Structure 1
Amino acid sequence: MNAERDLTRLLAGMRPELDPGRYVFTTVDGPAPAGVAPVVTVIEDEGLTLVVRQEEADAAGLPYDYVAGRITLRVHSALDAVGLTAAVAGALAGEGLSCNVVAGFHHDHLFVEHTRAEEALAVLEGLAARGSGDARGQA
């Protein structure tokens, strides 16, 4: 498993891919309810944060106030790689786009406002096309 650490190669090889689903962030006091298959879980003092498909949250009656699109960076980034999150977040911030980043073992997953997900994808594709560009993601 040769994960990439070089920022130039990480940016050039991102291959961002937009999942067609709608995702929400919610929280529960105990385990995830039946019928809910989280794509992300985070244990916090206040409860268990779940990132789930919107239709699952709706079916389970879970509250949420943010609907996100999920973009996966297909490059296999090393967990100790430096600068990828900053470059991506900087490029999106430059266009007024918020981004919640979750690092998996193999890939980074970005949760962006669903109504602007296609726009976010285009920004990331442009960043990848520029290759190394500005390592901080600033245009």
Structure 2
Amino acid sequence: MSPERDLSRLLAGMRPEANPGRYVFTTLERSDPGSLPEGLSPVVTVAEPEGVTLVVRQEEADAACLAYDYVAAWITLRVHSALDAVGLTAAVAGALADAGLSCNVVAGFHHDHLFVEHARAEQALAVLDALSQDPHKPAP
């Protein structure tokens, strides 16, 4: 199936789904980004000049004694979004912001992935469900 570019169809077809677990953002020194501590399976890796950011399960970070200060839920938008689609990130982030929810967005090849405060994951899912039903209605 081809990736979707039409914003109306993207929003209607989001089908947000929470992935099980608690996820944290942590960082490793930039000196050797290819070597990860034993037991880490990052779901996201971002190389920055200051270091390599990893998003990993909280228990993996704890076992590797890695520091973090934000515990997130990982929500996947199940719609197959095109990387050049316009407006999906803005619509999703805007609806969550209107509800007072922070959101860190990562685009994968097939789907968009959201990391929201773990304690408010159910609220984020409700906001996303409402947005997919009626993009013009204010979030709950």
Q: Which residue of 2 aligns with 1:123?
A: 127
SS at match of 1:43: strand
1:60-139 matches, within 5 Å, as 60-130=64-134, 133-134=135-136
Separation (CA, whole Å) in 1 of partners of 2:138 and 2:123: 17
User: Where does structure 1 differ by over 6 angstroms across 4 or more consecutive aligned residues?
Assistant: none
Q: Residue type matched to 2:25 in 1?
A: F
The count of residues paired between Structure 1 and Structure 2 equals 135
TM superposition score normalised by structure 2: 0.93
Q: Secondary structure at the match of 2:132?
A: helix
Structure 2 alignment gaps of length 5 or more: none
* 1:87–1:138 CA contact under 8 A, matched in 2: no
**Aligned partners of 2:120 and 2:36: how far apart in 1?**
28
Deviation at residue 32 of structure 1 after TM alignment: 2.0
Alpha-carbon distance in structure 2 between the residues aligned to 1:124 and 1:19? 15
Paired position in structure 2 for 1:21? 21
Q: Is the CA contact (8 Å cut-off) linking 1:32 and 1:50 kept in structure 2?
A: no
Aligned position for 2:11: 11
Stretches of structure 1 lacking an aligned partner (at least 5 in a row): none
1:29-87 deviations in whole A, cap 9, x for unaligned?
13321110000000000010000000000000000000000000000000000000000
Given residue 24 of structure 2, which amino acid in structure 1 is its aligned partner? V
Two-structure CA RMSD over aligned residues (Å): 1.2
